[in-house]
Amino acid sequence: MLDEPTAGMSPEATLVMMELIRTLARERTVILVEHKMKLIIGLYKHIIVLHHGEFLAEGTPEEIQNNAEVHRVHLEQS
Protein backbone atom coordinates (compact mmCIF):
# COMPACT_ATOMS: atom_id res chain seq x y z
CA MET A 1 0.00 0.00 0.00
CA LEU A 2 1.45 3.34 -1.07
CA ASP A 3 0.20 6.80 -0.13
CA GLU A 4 1.20 9.43 -2.69
CA PRO A 5 4.62 7.87 -3.35
CA THR A 6 5.70 10.60 -5.78
CA ALA A 7 4.77 13.62 -3.64
CA GLY A 8 7.51 16.22 -3.81
CA MET A 9 9.55 14.29 -6.37
CA SER A 10 11.13 15.74 -9.47
CA PRO A 11 9.76 14.56 -12.84
CA GLU A 12 12.84 12.36 -13.26
CA ALA A 13 12.46 10.74 -9.83
CA THR A 14 8.73 10.26 -10.52
CA LEU A 15 9.55 8.25 -13.65
CA VAL A 16 11.92 6.04 -11.64
CA MET A 17 9.26 5.51 -8.95
CA MET A 18 6.62 4.67 -11.59
CA GLU A 19 8.89 1.98 -13.03
CA LEU A 20 9.54 0.57 -9.55
CA ILE A 21 5.79 0.41 -8.86
CA ARG A 22 5.21 -1.23 -12.25
CA THR A 23 7.82 -3.85 -11.40
CA LEU A 24 6.27 -4.52 -7.97
CA ALA A 25 2.79 -4.82 -9.48
CA ARG A 26 3.85 -7.65 -11.80
CA GLU A 27 3.87 -10.15 -8.94
CA ARG A 28 1.68 -8.61 -6.25
CA THR A 29 -1.33 -6.43 -5.64
CA VAL A 30 -0.48 -2.77 -5.22
CA ILE A 31 -2.91 -0.36 -3.58
CA LEU A 32 -1.97 3.21 -4.37
CA VAL A 33 -3.52 6.40 -3.02
CA GLU A 34 -2.68 9.19 -5.46
CA HIS A 35 -4.11 12.50 -6.64
CA LYS A 36 -2.10 12.63 -9.88
CA MET A 37 -4.51 11.03 -12.33
CA LYS A 38 -1.87 10.86 -15.09
CA LEU A 39 0.28 8.67 -12.86
CA ILE A 40 -2.60 6.32 -12.07
CA ILE A 41 -3.83 6.05 -15.66
CA GLY A 42 -0.34 5.08 -16.81
CA LEU A 43 0.18 2.38 -14.19
CA TYR A 44 -2.95 0.34 -13.66
CA LYS A 45 -5.41 -1.84 -15.57
CA HIS A 46 -8.16 -1.44 -12.96
CA ILE A 47 -8.89 1.76 -11.04
CA ILE A 48 -11.27 2.64 -8.23
CA VAL A 49 -11.93 6.34 -7.67
CA LEU A 50 -13.04 7.64 -4.28
CA HIS A 51 -14.23 11.16 -3.51
CA HIS A 52 -14.30 12.24 0.15
CA GLY A 53 -13.99 8.57 1.11
CA GLU A 54 -17.01 7.52 -0.95
CA PHE A 55 -17.01 5.26 -4.01
CA LEU A 56 -17.25 7.31 -7.20
CA ALA A 57 -16.23 5.06 -10.09
CA GLU A 58 -14.48 1.84 -11.03
CA GLY A 59 -13.10 0.56 -14.31
CA THR A 60 -10.28 0.47 -16.79
CA PRO A 61 -8.13 3.56 -17.34
CA GLU A 62 -10.16 4.33 -20.48
CA GLU A 63 -13.46 4.03 -18.62
CA ILE A 64 -12.19 6.30 -15.84
CA GLN A 65 -10.89 8.86 -18.34
CA ASN A 66 -14.30 8.92 -20.03
CA ASN A 67 -16.36 9.02 -16.82
CA ALA A 68 -18.29 12.29 -16.62
CA GLU A 69 -18.59 12.18 -12.82
CA VAL A 70 -14.82 11.70 -12.38
CA HIS A 71 -14.23 14.67 -14.69
CA ARG A 72 -16.73 16.82 -12.79
CA VAL A 73 -15.18 16.04 -9.41
CA HIS A 74 -11.62 16.37 -10.66
CA LEU A 75 -12.34 19.74 -12.28
CA GLU A 76 -14.09 21.01 -9.13
CA GLN A 77 -10.88 20.33 -7.17
CA SER A 78 -8.64 22.18 -9.63
Q: Residue 69 carries which side chain, given as an amino acid letter? A: E
Report the distance separating Cα 2 and Cα 62, nearest Å: 23
The whole-model pTM stands at 0.74
pLDDT of residue 69: 94
pLDDT in tens, 15-74: 999 999 999 988 998 888 888 888 888 788 899 999 998 999 999 999 999 999 998 987
- CB-based burial, 18-42: b 16+ in 10 Å, e otherwise: beebeeeeeeeeeebebeebebbee
Per the structure, the complete domain to which residue 26 belongs is given by: 1-33
- Number of domains comprising the chain: 2
Q: Could you tell me if 49 and 26 lie in one domain? A: no
Asked if pLDDT for residue 77 goes beyond 80, the answer is: no
Report the distance separating Cα 43 and Cα 52, nearest Å: 23
Q: Could you tell me if 23 and 50 lie in one domain? A: no
Report the distance separating Cα 14 and Cα 18, nearest Å: 6
Is 4 designated active site?
A: yes
The answer as to whether 40 is a domain residue is no
pLDDT of residue 64: 92
pLDDT of residue 78: 52
